[in-house]
Amino acid sequence: MAEGAVLPAETLKDPVVGRSLWVEARGRLVRNKAAFGSIILLGLIAFACIFGPFVTGHPFDKVYPDYVKVPASLSSYPKPDQIEPNIERIGARVRAKAENITIKGDDVQMTLVGQRPIDERLLAYFERSDLFGAAKVLERADEGKRIVVEVPLKRKYFFFGTDTNGRDLLTRTMKAGQVSLAIGLLATFVAIVIGVAYGATSGYLGGRADLVMMRAVDVLYSLPFIFFVIMLVVFFGRNFVLMFIAVGAVEWLDMARIVRGQTLSIKRQEYVQAAEALGVETKGIIRRHVIPNTLGPVVVYMTLLVPKVILLESFLSFLGLGVQEPNTSLGVLISEGAKNIQGATWMLIYPSVTLVAILFCLNFIGDGLRDALDPKDR
């Protein structure tokens, strides 16, 4: 065709839309049952952690002194066998004895018998407890020494039980999930940003700069990791956001190595040489060729780094160096659970199951992404 010839209109028909590698990878990921199931499960967990605390009816730091360490249960509290002892306890404060305690639906009727006339203002003790609502006096007899009282029961649900302070474990687990996920994402983000920038620079510059930059990474590798983390805790103390930015700043080493290796191999690819032959500037090569092609391993590494960071946070919290009360994280809950494993197994089981589920999902997603992005049989 002659130079600059105008194409006939019909040849400029609408282009066929191609399937990019990303689209194909998504297809493979969706077909991978374990990974796809994990994505859905993790989505549900994250959704529950974010919105759950609003619907459980318990603030995460609300203490129920009457419900300390109650076991997990699908039916509501108070349990029938809890009502009588509690009424007797309140009766004692009102300086009366409770008789004829009958439970009718959501109400309890009883007769309070005192040796002196009962001060009805003291009935407020009922409302102050976690079990009952405001008391209503139905009958008075014997100059007020004998009154019939009806109190409504406050129905409460503790699906995961409560902790040693009487806080709802379900809400706390959700809150903890929020914190753990947030920490994982934040630290990973920091690690990725530093790692990608460092690795890509080192790989692209090559030569002596690469040698020096990677030597520095080697030295940092030999520094005991725990030492670094504990020093960061010492420095940043109780500010966990700052601390995990710092943890991210330690975790970037692997990322830097991966990205460097990737950049080196992409640099040798013929399509980069072809771009150089076209006269494309370094900026354009990095933007159009290097970055899109390193993204795959970075995404995979990211999904595997999040669980690592969450585990690290749990480990620090276990040592008492992590998130501080009343705020909580899965590590904090698990270490409390481990201390109360005798007699209050639910305190260990539910947070552990949540943590393991999150980590499991992230691992499967990471594996699935790796298979999807880098299929061996292509």
Partner 1 sequence: MLSYIFRRLLSAIPTLFVIVTIAFFLIRLAPGGPFDLERPLEAKVMENLNRIYQLDRPLIEQYWLYLSAVLKGDFGPSFYLRDFSVAELFARGLPVSMTLGSLALTLAVLVGGTLGAIAALRQNSGIDYLVTGLGALGLTIPNFVVAPIFQIVFGLALAVLPIAGWNNGSPANLVMPVLVLALPQIAVVARMTRAAMIENLRSNHIRTLRSLGLPSLTIVKHALRGAALPVVSYLGPAAAALLTGSVVVETIFGLPGVGRYFVEGALNRDYTLVMGTVVVVAVFVLLFNLVVDILYAIIDPRIRYD
Partner 2 sequence: MAQPVLAVRNLHVRFRTGDGTLHAVKGIDIDVNAGETVAIVGESGSGKSQTMMSVMGLLASNGWAEGSVKYRGEELVGLSPNKLNHYRGSKLTMIFQEPMTSLDPLYKIGDQLALPLTTHGGLNKARARKRAIELLELVRIPDPERRIDSYPHEMSGGQRQRVMIAMALANNPDVLIADEPTTALDVTVQAKILELLSDLQKRLGMSIVFITHDLGIVRRFADRTYVMKRGEVVESGKTGDIFAAPKHPYTQMLIDAEPTGRKEPVPAGAPMVLEAKDVQVTFGLKKSFFGKAGHVLRAVDGVSLSVRAGETVGVVGESGSGKSTLGRAILRLQPASGMVRFEDRNLMPLDRGGMRPLRRHLQLVFQDPFGSLSPRMTSGEIVTEGLLVHEPSISRKERDRRAAQAFEEVRLDPAWRNRFPHEFSGGQRQRIAIARAMILHPKLVVLDEPTSALDRSVQKEIVELLRELQKAHGLAYVFISHDLAVVRALSDEIMVMKTGKVVERGTAEQIFDRPKEDYTRDLIAAAFLTENAKAEARSLAS
Residue numbers of the site for partner 2 (CB under 8 A)? 1-3, 5, 7, 11-22, 28, 31, 211, 269-271, 273-281, 284, 288-289, 292-293, 375, 377-378
360 binds, among partner 1, partner 2, none (CB under 5 to 8 A by kind): partner 1
Residue whose CB is less far from partner 1, 115 or 222:
222
Span interacting with partner 1, options 102-110, 127-135, 202-210, 351-359, rule CB under 8 A: 351-359
Residue 164 near residue 69, CB atoms below 8 Å? yes
Among 179, 186, 266, 334, binds partner 1 (CB under 8 A): 334
The 280-319 contact track toward partner 1, x by CB under 8 A, reads ---------------------------x---x--xx--xx
DSSP-based three-state secondary structure for 107: strand
Q: Which distant-in-sequence residues (6+ apart) come within 8 Å of 364 by Cβ?
A: 34, 35, 37, 38
Span interacting with partner 1, options 127-135, 201-209, 268-276, 354-362, rule CB under 8 A: 354-362
Among 22, 47, 51, 235, binds partner 1 (CB under 8 A): 235
356 near partner 1 (CB under 8 A): yes
156 binds, among partner 1, partner 2, none (CB under 5 to 8 A by kind): none
Strand partners, 107: 104, 152
Among 23, 341, 374, 375, binds partner 1 (CB under 8 A): 341
Residue 326 near residue 61, CB atoms below 8 Å? yes
Among 1, 9, 342, 378, binds partner 1 (CB under 8 A): 342
19 near partner 1 (CB under 8 A): no
Label residues 290-308 b or e (16+ Cβ within 10 Å = b): bbebbebbbbbbbbbbbbb
Residue 17 beta carbon to partner 2: minimum distance, rounded to whole angstroms: 5
**Phi, psi angle pair for 315, to nearest 5°:** -60, -45
**Phi, psi angle pair for 284, to nearest 5°:** -65, -40
Residue 334 beta carbon to partner 1: minimum distance, rounded to whole angstroms: 6
Sheet holding 107-113, edge to edge: 97-104, 107-113, 146-152, 136-141
Residue whose CB is less far from partner 2, 239 or 265:
265
143 binds, among partner 2, partner 1, none (CB under 5 to 8 A by kind): none
d(CA 107, CA 102): 9
240 near partner 1 (CB under 8 A): no
d(CA 180, CA 309): 9
Q: Which two tokens stand for residue 90?
A: 């309140």
214 near partner 1 (CB under 8 A): no
Query: What is the 3-state composition of the chain as percent helix, strand, coil, each rounded to the nearest 5?
Result: 65, 10, 25
d(CA 264, CA 259): 8
**Phi, psi angle pair for 177, to nearest 5°:** -60, -45
Among 103, 182, 214, 230, binds partner 1 (CB under 8 A): 230
121 binds, among partner 1, partner 2, none (CB under 5 to 8 A by kind): none
359 near partner 1 (CB under 8 A): yes
